[in-house]
Chains A and B, each alone.
Chain A
């Protein structure tokens, strides 16, 4: 199966070409854009962990190490397309349009963190595992019924493939030929459970065969491979050629969440050594150096301006007026039914309000 579904790659860990199919498209401009987006995501992620440790936000879910998978794939999506993230996919959603402030608000426990910018079809993070595959299928199916060429991309992890909704999602998309890209980030662990305990299948991509759909296995830390192969899948979807299951093999360096300690279930040295070898940002830096695109000052200025942007977002997040309790009551239905109104009123009275 691993032979049937080889890990597609464009540049290797040393930043060297392994597949030159897209060479003409890989310009300095594209490279720098992808590098910028990945660095922005990484610095945001580290800030998220720090804010949690400082008690300024709640539990945070880090994605460091998965930047190439999320940014390469989200860059392949176009205006009007749909994105269905999990709680670990803020690199994808910030690339697709979420503001950093909104993302921080989500982790600060604010409902506003679920709201996409006007015109951006970004669903709130799915917390129940794999349930979002069906939403992506449904939304894509709706686009097909409407006769547009829009597509959905849905993110999920290796553990999600064990859920019934994974299979139902793939099957429905396959049956109805829905324009969906099922983008799996195989980071090797579902919290603490390694993939060997999750499945006997050697790859996740091979599961596409059962649903008569295209399956693609990628080096998820090669941003070019992710971008171009996802783009191909999206193009196929737009043309009505059906869904694709993409498996992007990657690695999360950190914990499952800030409330988790990965040293309890895996050797931390592996993450440390991977930072030196397979890291997606380092790999792109090496590539840029190889291709004479690298400029130390540019990189330093970039880090500085991104840091400033992030600090500004933190400031905006912290300066948000306190959440209003009415937000809890007033959006359950289009119009509050009497039980909610009377509970709202009784609660307000108990607080001595109004």
Chain B
């Protein structure tokens, strides 16, 4: 039996090297040498490499030893959860890197001319790869919407939809699914003449969903429907593998950091409790959010919520919280045993403080006075700029405002004169719907919350000035390119003074 054999006189140096490499699993310290001594003594003569059982045993116990606190089982459970969170974050990072390789949506006229030849098409443009839609659908693949107002041809829904299908198939598209006929059962205001047709098609990495709806019974101000197509980029097949590639390094780093913090805080139980609470909170930020993301998904269409493919985007908010909590825990750990010799930059930073302390009370008084003065001035500026009426002169937009910075924005505002009649307001609101404006919320006067937001970045507007400011709708666009069509529809409406892409 090997464990009973006498220590071998000449141990193979390759075995010693292999053990040394393996023992790096253990934290730095005398334990590595102690273990090496024991392992070498236990080794059977002639052995060149560690036995698989030894390797597994050392990796397991070495990883555990990294966490310190040999009596605690809780630290193992906590480290496992932190590693899980770290793994998810690592996967999120590689997911984001993977998405950087996805090409933007095609900007040319080829698809537009295939679907709607000879018609004035609104919308189009590009979209972010993944978007967080404000319409309650949450995180989705980014898509661009293109649409046309009805013509005699598009009102013949069945024939036009069939025509689009034929043209797309001739252009290399494959129809993936055709929707069942329009079911208007229990739909309020539906008429027997209502028509609808839609299908989904793919070409390479592109997905397209066409739909044509005709509502002849609707009042003129609501429009009689339209024909649209959604265009999106299907996530590449390698994205899933790439995403999970980041899991292991993320989990590994999280385990190491937990161990480091745990060992540093081990002598100080008072700090250990808040640090552990922080770590639990950090885990709660990331793990549930990720699991919810993973449970979503399904076949991609324009309303599909991506699962692991959208990991990086789904984790944006929890990641920030996790980052803050992790930073606090690590700071607390780092503060436990300050290094004997401060790094160069910290010595420089500490120098002025040393001068002040040496100069005595007068320097301390002068410094306190200067800090108080600066703080006072800052507070005064803050109060006068933000709370005093008249501290803001509102800037009112006019006409169509579409700055380059708003190219990928899903939000628009429609401004209507404060003197607009109720009819004008109702007609304008109907026009937002006609112009593919999606959900619109109206901010009706100075007493509404956020009324001065579009006019002032900070400060207060005088009451009589605010009373005369235009009222506005905040419109969520289904895709950034829809702004053009909305603006064209709205600016022609009476009393509408501006349409702004923000």
* A and B assemble together: no
